[in-house]
Amino acid sequence: MQGYSQAAENNKAPIAEIMGRHLPPDAFVLEIGSGAGQHALHMTHAFPCIIWLPSEREAVLPILRANLARYESNNIQPPLVLDLADFTWSGDRLDAVYAANVMHIVSESLGERLVQLAAEALKPSGLLMLYGPYKYNGQFTTESNASFDQWLKDRDPASGIRDFEALMATAKCTGLTLTRDYAMPANNQMLIFERA
């Protein structure tokens, strides 16, 4: 598989376990930042009645398309070009928007845009599901997350582990309410928001 991510391989099963508690059996899910497509392939196998719409920036899309074509799944839609800086949802309302390890990679303003986009695209009671590390009360949950944050900032000063409280404020402004905050393996969280 081109663009294979060991992290995606490690976390796909724990994420699926949480998703299974919350997704309707026939959910229509938009994944923002699908990478190599490992989660799309795993989730559509785990939940054969859901429809999964993967997305990526244009530069990454050829890898995603090639991987999805190689491991065919009849409930994955053709991948969407999605650049958070310039994208408006115009399709049917979604049951869920999902993003894993995106918020700390993109800039803070693009992370806010991701939350706004989810609020615009979701059905009433639809879910935004965000997986990744967060700071609480300005503090990292572990020393390894602090080191990871520094590594991210060295690579791109606009990236970094985000503040949980700032995310809550953005969500509240868009009509999304946090319903669950799950502690996940490798010092990550799975945050579940519901659209009013």
Burial of 159 (0-12, 13-18, 19+ CB in 10 A): buried
Q: How many residues does the chain have?
A: 196
Q: Is the pLDDT of residue 114 over 80?
A: yes
pLDDT tens, position by position, 10-28: 899 999 999 999 999 999 9
Q: Is the pLDDT of residue 196 over 80?
A: yes
pLDDT tens, position by position, 139-164: 999 999 999 999 999 999 999 999 99
Q: Are 195 and 122 in contact (CB under 8 A)?
A: yes
Strands 94-100 and 162-163: unpaired
Q: Are 8 and 35 in contact (CB under 8 A)?
A: yes
Give the list of residues 6+ apart from residue 102 with CB closer than 8 angstroms, or none: 32, 33, 111, 114, 130, 132
Q: What is the pLDDT of residue 74?
A: 87
SS3 category, 105: coil
Name the pTM for this structure. 0.96
Q: Are 115 and 167 in contact (CB under 8 A)?
A: yes
pLDDT grade for 71, boundaries at 50, 70 and 90? confident
| Alpha-carbon distance values, 99 to 31, 61, 106, 143 (Å) | 6, 16, 12, 24
d(CA 14, CA 5): 16
Across the chain, mean pLDDT equals 95
In sequence order, which ranges of 47-189 are alpha helices (DSSP H)?
Answer: 61-70, 108-121, 143-155, 164-174
